[in-house]
């Protein structure tokens, strides 16, 4: 079941990233709106409800979600036997790295949905109901499909992680009307990928999706948001991160050559970060770019504590 669960997580990640990119760009209505005179510039959020924008967002989200799930069912799940609905308990696998991936994906798909509706001038209530919940609905629907597949099963742990990501997003909007704590992601190629490219990926993009050993998930806290009367730079964040190393997929290919057992351990990080959305600019285009790429943790000095008791200082960790 271990390798099947790994395949499930990789496929889920690929569909999630595809959903990110399509949702970000398919609502683009064309150059006529971008360069039109006497209209709100495309990258600028509408102060009042723009029905054309709202319609384009709702139609795109509905069409994209439906098409993705139908294609997924026909192209992927059709390759495997169907079964009665069943559950899968994978909470102890991968040192929970897959659960952090679900939290991150649910948070950012929901944030994209929320930002898209804010761009259209939709009410805050509807942004939260129809936008911020998008990640939870999309990823949990995939879990339902998994539940009817002989190869996998419905993971309650994954659904809980989806709920935590969405809850982090919506909870802050209700409490502060802003995201003071943001999930972020970073990746460094691990030493295991070169020895096991079939499982961990032979290209950098494949490794980002497959190699848990190189992934780190961060909770990045904007200090100025809590002390707005202070002289703290608006963009300065502190971050705590979680990663894992020496996972089962991090082992070498099966070989007759004896090798030392690989130690698996959790990694906990403390570092500094930058909130790109707090960088002041008059360009709506740059604001949009900063908002999109703010999901990436910037390289910075970091302190690492490993569950085996070791401490390590990184002059630059990504």
Residue 166: count other Cβ atoms within 10 Å of its Cβ. 25
Q: Are residues 93 and 193 in the same domain?
A: no
Last residue of a domain, one of 111, 146, 179: 179
pLDDT per position as a tens digit, 211-266: 899 999 999 999 999 999 999 999 999 999 999 998 865 444 444 444 566 788 99
Integer Cα distance of 120 and 115 in angstroms: 9
Residues 195 and 171 in one domain: no
* Reported confidence tier of residue 198, pLDDT bands at 50, 70, 90: confident
Q: What is the pTM of this model?
A: 0.86
Q: 12 and 144: one domain?
A: yes
Boundary (domain end) residue, out of 132, 154, 179: 179
Which residues contact residue 94 at a Cβ distance below 8 angstroms, ignoring those fewer than 6 apart? 5, 6, 9, 212, 244, 247, 248
* Domain stop point among 179, 214, 244: 179
Q: Rounded CA gap, 47 and 211, in Å?
A: 43
Whether 96 and 184 map to the same domain: the answer is no
- 34-77 pLDDT tens trace: 433 446 788 788 889 999 999 999 998 888 888 888 888 777 78
Identify whether residues 105 and 6 lie together within a single domain: yes
Domain count, the chain: 2
Per DSSP, what are the bridge partners of residue 14? none
User: Same structural domain for residues 279 and 248?
Assistant: yes
Q: 197 and 224 in one domain? A: yes
CA–CA separation, 55 and 256 (whole Å)? 61
Indicate whether 53 and 8 sit together in one domain: yes
Q: Where are the beta strands (DSSP E) in the chain?
A: 181-187, 215-222, 236-245, 265-274, 300-306, 311-317
Residue 14 pLDDT greater than 80, yes or no: no
Co-location of 224 and 89 in the same domain: no
Spatial strand order in the sheet of 215-222: 181-187, 215-222, 236-245, 265-274, 300-306, 311-317
Domain shared by 203 and 105, yes or no: no
The residue ranking higher by pLDDT, 208 or 73, is 208
Q: Do 173 and 29 belong together in one domain?
A: yes
Indicate whether 173 pLDDT > 90.
Answer: yes
Cβ atoms of 302 and 317 within 8 Å: the answer is yes
Same domain, 97 and 231: no
Q: How far is CA 182 from CA 98, 102, 111, 221, in A?
A: 18, 14, 10, 7
Q: Could you list the residue range(s) of the whole structural domain that residue 39 is in?
A: 1-179
Three-state SS for 314?
strand
Per-residue CA distances from 213 to 17, 158, 206 (Å): 19, 19, 13
pLDDT for the residue 17: 47
CA angle, 254 as apex, 250 and 255 as ends, to 5°?
125
């Amino acid at each position: 079941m271990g390798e099947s669960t790994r395949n499930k997580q990789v496929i889920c990640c690929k569909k999630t990233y595809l959903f990110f990119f399509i949702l970000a760009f398919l609502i683009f209505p064309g150059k006529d709106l971008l360069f039109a005179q006497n209209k709100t510039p495309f990258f600028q959020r509408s102060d009042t409800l723009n029905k054309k924008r709202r319609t384009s967002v709702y139609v795109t989200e509905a069409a994209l979600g439906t098409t993705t799930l139908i294609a997924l069912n026909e192209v992927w799940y059709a390759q495997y036997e169907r079964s009665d609905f069943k559950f899968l308990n994978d909470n102890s696998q991968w040192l929970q790295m897959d659960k952090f991936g679900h939290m991150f994906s649910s948070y950012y798909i929901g944030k994209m949905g929320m930002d898209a509706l804010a761009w259209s001038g939709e009410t805050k209530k509807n942004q939260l109901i129809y936008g911020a919940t998008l990640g939870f609905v999309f990823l949990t629907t995939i879990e339902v499909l998994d539940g009817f597949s002989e190869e996998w099963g419905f993971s309650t742990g994954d659904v809980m992680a989806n709920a935590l990501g969405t809850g982090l997003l919506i909870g802050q909007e209700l409490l502060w009307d802003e995201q003071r704590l943001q999930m972020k992601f970073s990746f460094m190629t691990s030493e295991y990928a070169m020895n096991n490219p079939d499982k961990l990926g032979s290209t950098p993009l494949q490794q980002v999706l497959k190699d848990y050993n190189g992934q780190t998930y961060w909770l990045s806290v904007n200090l100025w948001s809590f002390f707005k009367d202070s002289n703290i730079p608006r963009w300065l964040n502190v971050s705590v991160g979680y990663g894992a190393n020496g996972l089962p997929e991090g082992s070498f290919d099966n070989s007759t050559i004896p090798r030392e057992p690989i130690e698996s351990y959790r990694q906990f990080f403390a570092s500094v970060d930058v909130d790109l959305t707090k960088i002041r600019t008059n360009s709506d285009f740059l604001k949009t770019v900063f908002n999109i790429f703010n999901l990436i943790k910037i390289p910075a000095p970091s302190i690492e504590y490993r569950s085996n008791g070791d401490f390590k200082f990184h002059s630059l960790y990504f």
